[in-house]
Amino acid sequence: MRNKLVYVLCLLAAGILCWQLYNILLNLPNEKDQGAIYRIVYFHVPAIFTGFMGFFVALGASGIYLATRNLKYDAFAAAVTEVSLTFATIVLATGMIWGRIIWGIWWTWDARLTTMLVCWLIYAGYLMLRRAIDEPTQRARLSAVVSIFGCTDILIVWKSIEWWRTQHPAPVLSVRDGGGMAPGMESPIYWNWLALMCLAAVLVMIRMRQENMAREIDSLRRMAHSY
């Protein structure tokens, strides 16, 4: 049942992505200033949505773990965080390439890139912490607290840079601001977002299966030692 769901989601994601790739490359009108590179927004923005959503989902799962102390939720939080770290890496990489071409600089401290970088650092710290703790309950407990603190931090960083940047506008990596996109140009963002969500779900399910395997190994090891 689970495997079938994985395959279905995979096919759905692949289908949507191929369809949108065709759409993006052939059907969409050209943007007047940036050339072809603006089409990268169709990966950049959906990856941002998926990456940030992962943070909040992990926060929820960590909270539920602390309330119920069921290790399943901890496994889910870890899986979601790891997959979201991948999407955060994609956001940073595509953002840097886009920025390098458009502005000639690899990086700028605009709200989104900075928040994503802090996000990345906190996710990476969370995963490093998990590797440093062997005992499962301690690992779950401590990483849940880090997840909660981390998510709060992202909200603070996001809000504060947004407030500041509205006073000091800086180049923003988006085709949307100032003019908005033509109607036909927006839908690929949302379709790609759906595809990336399916992909994220597939990766999380695979990762969770691995967490369950790891837990089974732990308990079997304990059983083996008790003989």
Partner 1 sequence: MIDQRNFMYMFYGFAAAWVIVTVYVGLLALRERRLRDELDRVRRIVEDSGKRS
Partner 2 sequence: MGTTSVGSFFGSFLRDTLAIAAKDLRSEFRTKEALNASFAFSVVILVLFSFAFDPSSEQLQTISGGLLWLVFSFAGALILNRSFARELQNDCLDALISSPAPAGALFLGKAVANFVLLMIVELASLGVFGIFYDSRFGAQLGSIALVIALGTWGITVIGTMFSALTVNLRMREMMLPTLVYPLLIPALMAAMTLTTDLMNGTPFGKDNTIWLRVLTGFDFIYSILAVVFIDVVLIG
Which H, E and C letters describe the chain, residue by residue? CHHHHHHHHHHHHHHHHHHHHHHHHHHCCCCCCCHHHHHHHHHHHHHHHHHHHHHHHHHHHHHHHHHHCCHHHHHHHHHHHHHHHHHHHHHHHHHHHHHHHHHCCCCCCCHHHHHHHHHHHHHHHHHHHHHHCCCHHHHHHHHHHHHHHHHHHHHHHHHHHHHHHHHCCCCCCCCCCCCCCCHHHHHHHHHHHHHHHHHHHHHHHHHHHHHHHHHHHHHHHHHHHHC
Q: Tell whether residue 34 is a contact of partner 1 (CB under 8 A).
A: yes
Residue of the chain from 2, 89, 115, 188 that contacts partner 1 (CB under 8 A): 89
Residue of the chain from 8, 37, 67, 145 that contacts partner 1 (CB under 8 A): 37
Interface positions, 48-77, toward partner 2 (CB under 8 A) = 66
Interface with partner 1 by CB under 8 A: which range of 131-139, 147-155, 157-165, 218-226? Answer: 218-226
In the complex, least distance from residue 56 CB atom to partner 2, rounded to whole angstroms: 16
Residue of the chain from 1, 128, 132, 223 that contacts partner 1 (CB under 8 A): 223
Residues interacting with partner 1, by CB under 8 A?
A: 25-26, 30-31, 34-37, 39-40, 43-44, 47, 83, 86, 89-90, 93-94, 97-98, 100-101, 199, 203, 206-207, 210, 213-214, 216-217, 220-221, 223-224, 227
